[in-house]
Chain A
Amino acid sequence: MNEHQARELILKTLCDVAPEVDAASIDPDVPFQEQLDLDSMDFLNYVISLEEAAGIRIPEPDYRRVSTLSGCVAYMVAATPVPREEAR
């Protein structure tokens, strides 16, 4: 997954969890919980959706890293290496 794909996936997932979210107004460095008023159930649903969409495991100690847009993009890119033939 490249940065663009990661960002698209994250924003789509957020909008599923919190339908009123305006993607354009998200501050990339502020935790979603704070700026979008997500509770622990919302955040869990967000993590579940990311795991299922990307086929990865996001353990609880990593929650902090996936809780901002910039952090989560980096995390997703690192966690989903692009297959060699596509990367060429």
Chain B
Amino acid sequence: MPSLGADMEAGILVEWLVKPGDHVSRGDIVAVVETEKAAIEIETFNDGVVEEILVPEGQKAPVGAVLALIGNGGAPEPKARVSPVVRRLAERLGVDLTTVTGTEPDGVISRADVERAASGTPTTIEAPPAASVAPAPSAPPPSVTPSPVHEHPRIHVSPLAAAEAQRLRVDLTSVTGTGPGGAITRSDVERTEAARGAPEAGGAAPPEPPTGREVAPPVPLPAAARRGASEEQQLAMRRAIAELMTRSKREIPHYYLGTWIDLSRSMVWLDAENRDRAAAERILPAAILLKAVALAVQDVPDMNGFWINGEFRAGEGIHVGVAVSLRQGGLIAPCIHDVDALSLDDLMTALRDLVQRARGGRLRSSEMSDPTITVSNMGDQGVETLYGIIYPPQVALVGFGKILERPWAEGGLLGVRATVHATLAADHRASDGHQGGLFLAAIDRRVQRPEAL
């Protein structure tokens, strides 16, 4: 289970898109996972053949849990049983996984095992490599151990369904799950509620036992129940944001810088560029600002990366998180990968696609787990200044207010220019105000030459 943002502790495996025997390549979407914020498409990190699915649909699994085994089909190489999240942690900490003994069931290496190895606790170092390395299994699959995250060990229920049950005061033990493995879904709860509610409304018939599919048709849900469910989703998102932002403000000593940037050259260039284009081909100023940030990161790389275990770790690539506000409330900040390498046209296409999927469709796991810096853009309905809160463990967030015409003095002359107020919220553990100032100045320099973006 990949970490799809620092606020995520576990996710529900909603759907598998592959089955044992299927060939997959790195980047293929293999499953869909539901978090508090969105349904996320999980991409695989490996090429190979799906050998075994360890977490069934409908089950919740903690970050770091192994969801499935992918082998190389036929000629299994010895392979440490370890999730990508833990593998990355090991890389960051410089731990050789072949020297680590997994203490999880079936010898799977956990985050704690790697951390123990990194801190030099002898129990793990002395272990012979053979004990820690399991070949891709050809033997019968180990039984799936129940996820430790389950609050009700005998009831499989999604948080959404659990919240809905609480709201409707439905006793979960009275609900028959129709989801995979008997998991209780939201519709099961709503059906149970409908079955209970209908006779009461009529005031005559005794409540039928709230089981079985025939009790109520699954499709026409009461409108109130649908609204309730979306309210619960919003509450879940609110809680996720609350937790993450509280952590950020508690742990990260922010410093803030701001500067007014003359955008007139960029805007004039954009006007000319967009003049002969169909709307679908036009570029928004937001794309210019994103690209300028990505290129400025090349000048001041201290802003791009993470604060982990007491030190700065530079990001691999410049993956710019874009704060997208959602219509129903809340926000999410998935990234566009390698923004520095994208043309403005490609970046604009990626941005439109990302915003659309953030608001309506599905995001991909790498978009949630990879941002190395975040940009929050107030847009043209907003105010002139945005003071950001950093997404941990990132170390910087760039804020842009709305683009405004303002009086601008330059070279002894006063004129009216399109301007934007750019702010930087940065982690003082990772950088100082001097670097932050250089970074904002680099953004300014980049937008003065839009043709070079």
Binding site for B on A (CB under 8 A): 18-20, 33-34, 37-41, 44-45, 47-48, 50-52, 57-60
Contacts and interface: CB of A to CB of B under 8 A. Distances in A.
B92 interface: no
16 contacts: A18-B327, A33-B380, A37-B381, A38-B381, A40-B284, A40-B285, A41-B352, A41-B355, A41-B379, A44-B282, A44-B352, A50-B279, A51-B279, A51-B280, A60-B275, A60-B282
A20 B327 contact: yes
A39 B380 contact: yes
Cβ-closest 5 pairs across A and B: A39-B379, A47-B279, A48-B279, A48-B280, A51-B279
B278 interface: yes
A50 B278 CA distance: 11
B286 interface: yes
B280 A52 contact: yes
Given A33-B381, A38-B381, A48-B278, 17 more contacts: A19-B327, A20-B328, A33-B380, A34-B381, A37-B381, A40-B285, A41-B351, A44-B282, A44-B284, A44-B352, A48-B280, A50-B279, A51-B278, A52-B280, A58-B279, A60-B274, A60-B282
The A contact surface, by secondary structure, is: helix
A38 to B, nearest CB: 8
A38 B261 CA distance: 25
B277 to A, nearest CB: 9
B278 A41 contact: no
Most buried by A among B271, B327, B380: B327
Nearest to A37: B381
A38 B380 CA distance: 9
Nearest to B275: A59
Contact of B379 (A18, A40, A50): A40
Contacts of B351: 41
Contacts of A44: 279, 282, 284, 352
Contacts of A37: 381
B286 A40 contact: yes
A40 to B, nearest CB: 5
Contacts of A38: 381
B300 to A, nearest CB: 27
Contacts of B275: 59-60
A45 B279 CA distance: 8
Interface in B9-63: none
B72 to A, nearest CB: 42
A31 B327 CA distance: 18
A19 B210 CA distance: 34
A40 B274 contact: no
Contacts of B356: 45
A8 B40 CA distance: 35
A60 B376 CA distance: 24
Interface in B321-339: 325, 327-328
Nearest to B283: A44
B271 A57 contact: no
B167 to A, nearest CB: 21
Interface in B243-286: 271, 274-275, 278-280, 282, 284-286
Nearest to A31: B381
A46 to B, nearest CB: 9
A44 B355 CA distance: 12
B249 to A, nearest CB: 26
A36 to B, nearest CB: 10
Nearest to A46: B279
B284 A60 contact: no
Interface string B281-298: 010111000000000000
A18 B355 CA distance: 13
A40 B380 contact: yes
A66 B381 CA distance: 17
A50 B280 CA distance: 11
A20 to B, nearest CB: 6
A60 to B, nearest CB: 6
Contacts of B285: 40
A88 to B, nearest CB: 32
Contacts of B381: 33-34, 37-39
A41 B287 CA distance: 11
Contacts of B279: 44, 47-48, 50-51, 57-58
